[in-house]
Amino acid sequence: MEIIKFLIPMALGMGMIFVGLFIWSTRSGQFDDLDTPSKRMLLEDDETHLVNKPITHERKDV
């Protein structure tokens, strides 16, 4: 029974911390746009392919 006196305040404290972090994240805009990040990987950016394309000096007609 002694451990209950320790565990209940600890659980309540951790719960309050998580609720506080959730409120902080919603006010700072973490959950504003939920659709765009999942679709961004499907969009093709031609500029990034040109920048990341390795330069090779091989002949293609051989």
- pLDDT tens by residue, 6-35: 999 999 999 999 999 999 999 998 888 777
Structural domain span for residue 30 = 4-52
Q: Does 9 reside within a domain?
A: yes
Q: Does 59 reside within a domain?
A: no
Alpha helices in 1-62 (DSSP H): 4-27, 36-40, 46-52
Say what the pLDDT of residue 20 is: 98
Token pair for 15: 């719960």
Q: Does 36 reside within a domain?
A: yes
> 3-state DSSP call for residue 8?
helix
Q: Does 37 reside within a domain?
A: yes
Instruction: Write down how long the chain is.
Output: 62
Q: Does 48 reside within a domain?
A: yes
36-56 pLDDT tens trace: 877 877 877 665 555 555 666
Q: How far is CA 41 from CA 20, 32, 48, 57, 60, in A?
A: 32, 18, 12, 30, 30
Q: Does 61 reside within a domain?
A: no
Q: Does 29 reside within a domain?
A: yes
pTM: 0.53
Instruction: Give the C-alpha separation, 40 to 34, whole Å.
Output: 11
Number of folded domains that form the chain: 1
